[in-house]
Amino acid sequence: MSSSINIPDTGAKRIVIVGAGFAGLTLARKLQNKGYQIVLIDKNNFHQFQPLLYQVAMAGLEPSSIAFPLRKAFQKCRDVFIRVTTVEEIDVQKNEITTRLGTLCYDYLVLAIGVTTNFFGNENFASKALSMKSIEEALYLRNLILNDYEKAVTTTDYDDRQSLVDIVIVGGGPTGVEVAGALVEMKNFILPKDFHELDTNEIDIHLIQSGETLLKGMSEEAGKNAEIFLRKMGVKVTLNTRVEDFDGEYVYLKGGEKIQTNKVIWAAGITGNKVKGLPEDVVVRGNRIRTDKINRVIGTENVFAIGDIAIVDDEPAYEYGHPQVAQVAIQQGKLLSKNLPAIINNKPTKDFVYNDKGSMATIGRNKAVVDLPRFKFKGFFAWIVWLVVHLFSIIGVKNKIFVFINWVWGYFSYDQSLRLIIKPAKRLKHREDDAV
């Protein structure tokens, strides 16, 4: 089997997994040491725990606490090969992918390429708004917020100061709600201690949602409770209002209203990452890839898609696809780790059936909402459940310990002491591709 990116031909079936998120990493870990050659490809050399990215952005956690090196995850496995690169094209006829490092043939290809921010074609949002889909973006947001507060204490003009301290969050899903809660807690508990000269009453945190309730996808009760929590904390929640534009100085709302700010956090939509070479009819709404019930891409024999990028055909209960959440990705990765060996050995496979274990969102200290299949609850106990579930989901014992210590320290001190503005060093001109 040919390879131009230096993968040895061991004679074992080669399974190439593109993407080391929840789906791809789960699959690779389940298949290791099973007699297959696993090639795991990702643009980063680490797995990032996306549900806690907002805490990195809000200076609640350090990036290393929610990231885990891929090579460390497979240190004791000689049949897993890590390659840090991006896939540019797939040739389903030749069973070959083209990456920035070169070409690679496969016996089986699994696409777990995930999603990115969807700005719905608005170039101003794409170029001026802030998204939060990676550790790099979370750190950039943290730097920007802290830097603007530093500028605000030396800015005498009221309007200029408002532009620096006010923040607009677009999108009332879990990310938007959790970011709004974290920002208003920073305003209420941290900034008065760090910035004595700054009148925190001037700081407005806006959460704009186009729908009639927050947390779409969860129960109406959860959305209402989240709204009540946020309003009591001081967040300015606006429902049934669409954001139409942002010029870097003002956010323009439908109906003519505008809000002065230089920071818009975009949490209003996602779309699948694209890859060339798949049949046109398999890529549907949201750039999701159509698969059959065992997550095999429609029209192919040995190409699979799992996680946020996949949409399973003939699922009446999920007309628009399964929820794009970690549990779906993990469950699809686990099932495919059983189905691939079955396919290779000509044995029966099992269809994917999603086991909905519920959903949850935290709004702030002692405040969360939880929807379980049989009952719903809110408040302190919901917050404890949220903490436990997320803590045990993080990869790595050391990461679990560090996150737990940060959470405990922050809970009792109201101060994590992580508010550092870390600016990247000057890039070397001859090494621009290698710069972070």
Residues 202/164, Cβ–Cβ less than 8 Å: no
- Angstrom CA distances, 334 to 14, 324, 352, stand at 18, 16, 10
Pairwise CA distance, residues 66 & 44, whole Å: 14
Pairwise CA distance, residues 39 & 79, whole Å: 8
Query: Which pLDDT belongs to residue 1?
Result: 61
Write the DSSP symbol of residue 425.
P
Burial class (CB in 10 A: 0-12, 13-18, 19+), 407: middle
Pairwise CA distance, residues 307 & 42, whole Å: 15
| Domains, the chain, ordered by start | 14-117+270-344 (3.50.50.60), 123-264 (3.50.50.60)
* Helix/strand/coil for 13: coil
Sign of CA dihedral 187, 412, 398, 370: negative
Query: Which pLDDT belongs to residue 410?
Result: 85
Query: Which pLDDT belongs to residue 2?
Result: 54
**Structural element, H or E, at residue 244:** strand 243-246
Give the pLDDT of the chain (436 residues) as one tens digit per residue: 656 788 988 899 999 999 999 999 999 999 999 999 999 999 999 999 999 999 999 888 889 999 999 999 999 899 999 999 999 999 999 999 999 999 999 999 999 999 999 998 899 999 999 999 999 999 999 999 999 999 999 999 999 999 999 999 999 999 999 999 999 999 998 898 889 899 999 999 999 999 999 999 899 999 999 999 999 999 999 999 999 999 999 999 998 899 999 999 999 989 999 999 998 899 999 999 999 999 999 999 999 999 999 999 988 888 889 999 999 999 999 999 999 999 999 999 999 999 999 999 999 999 999 999 889 999 999 999 999 999 999 999 999 999 999 899 888 887 776 787 877 665 555 445 544 4
DSSP string over 172-187: -SHHHHHHHHHHHHII
Which residue in the block uniquely carries the two structure tokens 């049989």? 374
Query: Which pLDDT belongs to residue 436?
Result: 40
* Helix/strand/coil for 273: coil
Residues 175/209, Cβ–Cβ less than 8 Å: no
pLDDT in tens, 76-87: 899 999 999 999
Pairwise CA distance, residues 341 & 328, whole Å: 21
Residues marked as catalytic: 178
pLDDT in tens, 256-298: 899 999 999 999 989 999 999 998 899 999 999 999 999 999 9
